[in-house]
Structure 1
Amino acid sequence: MISEGLITVSDNHRVVPTRRGRLLNDSVIEQFFDFVGV
Structure 2
Amino acid sequence: MKGFEGGVNAMLKEQKNARNFLHRELRAHVCYCLILKCAI
With structure 1 as the length reference, what TM-score do the two structures score?
Answer: 0.34
Query: Which has the larger helix fraction?
Result: 2
Larger radius of gyration: 2
With structure 2 as the length reference, what TM-score do the two structures score?
Answer: 0.33
